Amino acid sequence: MSKPTQLYEINTAVYLARLSRDAGRQLTLAGVPDEALDYLTARGIDAIWLMGVWQRSPRAIEIARADEQLMTEMRGVLPDMTDDDLIGSAYSIRDYHVDARFGGDAALIAFRKQLKRHGLQLILDFVPNHTALDHPWIQMHPDYYIHGSPADLAAHPESYALCDEHVIANGRDPNYPAWQDTAQVDAYSAGYRQASIDTLRSIAQLCDGVRCDMAMLMMNDIVSESWQRNDVPPTDYWSDVIAAVRQQFPDFIFMAEAYWHRESALVEQGFDYCYDKTLYDLLVEGSSTHHYLDTHPGMIEHGVHFIENHDEQRAAAVFALPEHTAAAQLIASLPGLTMWHDGQWQGYRTRIPMQLGRGPQENPDPTIVSMYDALLLDRHEC
């Protein structure tokens, strides 16, 4: 199969909840109606990113429940929220098996066969920087993680967690507070690098590629600066991991969520595509994109171009209609990979927190629906 050019991001839990509501019964990945996929292929989609499919952490649910600010945000998004709607973060992964609420691995295998019948490739998540606090590796392989001391935990309870007898650093981006429902892995650990390779080889049997969360955090220089490490290995994490996976799966797709202008370096380390956050920011600011596009042609071909995803605000809430139309037309015209987000074509405005298992019922905006139909149906027919 050739590499995809039009990717559709689906929040697995929210998507299945919506399909289940429409069907009047609980659906798993094995029950997605063919018409839902026909809708996508008619608009040129050739790959689906099924975001948040893996087993989530029970401990992460309790951490979310104790977070008053997060609970207030979620109740604002979903006023009729119940205990069952709190399912934990999609990025606090306890195990790389499909969550039972989505039908388990068997349902994903059936869904992939369905996708293939529609000519659709499948992208899944890989989270390299951290695991859940209750991931089995913490007990079985504590050397995979960055540890702290009891004094660190006492002084910085917002950045460290007690996992049985181990004090483990929470996963973090050095520019922000730690993610308190995660455990920080050690990118320099040879054992963890091999475990990443083994995990990705297992994932590669279920899909065509992975979207790698916060990929730049695993680069040697960033790890060294973030964690004050002097024991820098001779090779980068991604160079080792991607090369090893491709020995067995040469066509497997690697897509990086990447910021800080690290895209070029990540492509050199093996990635097929990297987030084009620079272009997104220019579009949101209303700045000219001509200079950027003209001076970065090589990277544009490796870019994931978007005006909405689960981390950003909804495009309909950010752009007035003329700017929305122009931005959508631009990203649809570029080489590389165009990424659309479920609900974007309907003009939905609510950004749904990762911990929620369903979203509010929103009415499509007819003007935005017509705009995207004109753009995508006409373009695909051509």
**Per-residue pLDDT reduced to its tens digit, 127-150:** 999 999 999 999 999 999 999 999
Q: Compute the mean pLDDT over every residue in the chain, rounded to the nearest whole number.
A: 96
Q: What pLDDT shows up at residue 297?
A: 87
Contact 261, 217 (CB under 8 A): no
State mean pLDDT over 227-234. Answer: 95
Q: Indicate the CATH number for domain 6-126+276-381.
A: 3.20.20.80
pLDDT tens digits, 165-180: 999 999 999 999 999 9
Amino acid at 297: P
State mean pLDDT over 23-28. Answer: 96
pLDDT tens digits, 318-372: 999 999 999 999 999 999 999 999 999 999 999 999 999 999 999 999 999 999 9
- Give the residue from 152, 125, 103 showing the smallest Cα distance to 48: 125
The model's confidence at residue 381, banded by pLDDT at 50, 70 and 90, is low
State mean pLDDT over 88-110. Answer: 97
State mean pLDDT over 205-232. Answer: 97
Contact 375, 344 (CB under 8 A): no
User: Chain centroid to CA 72: how far?
Assistant: 24
**What percent of the chain is modeled with pLDDT above 90?**
97
Q: What pLDDT shows up at residue 283?
A: 98
pTM value surpassing 0.85: yes
Q: What pLDDT shows up at residue 31?
A: 97
Q: What pLDDT shows up at residue 267?
A: 97
Q: How do 47-51 and 273-275 pair as beta strands?
A: unpaired
Q: Is the pLDDT of residue 382 over 60?
A: no
Q: Is the pLDDT of residue 2 over 60?
A: yes
Q: To 10 degrees, the CA torsion angle through 332, 3, 265, 294?
A: -30
Q: Is the pLDDT of residue 380 over 70?
A: no
- Give the residue from 145, 155, 274 showing the smallest Cα distance to 214: 274
Domain edges within the chain = 6-126+276-381
Burial class (CB in 10 A: 0-12, 13-18, 19+), 227: middle
State mean pLDDT over 278-288. Answer: 97
Contact 97, 54 (CB under 8 A): yes
State mean pLDDT over 298-310. Answer: 96
Q: Is the pLDDT of residue 37 over 90?
A: yes
Burial 58-89 (b: 16+ CB within 10 A, else e): ebbbebbeeeeebbeebeebbeebeeebbbbb
Q: What pLDDT shows up at residue 153?
A: 97
**H helix or E strand, kind and range, residue 212:** strand 209-212
pLDDT tens digits, 41-94: 999 999 999 999 999 999 999 999 999 999 999 999 999 999 999 999 999 999
Q: Is the pLDDT of residue 378 over 80?
A: no
- The residues, ordered by sequence, that sit 6+ positions from 208 with a Cβ below 8 Å of its Cβ are 1, 47, 121, 122, 123, 251, 252, 253
Q: How many C-beta atoms lie closer than 10 Å to residue 370's C-beta? A: 10
Q: At what angle do helices 190-203 and 237-248 cross, to 10 degrees?
A: 40
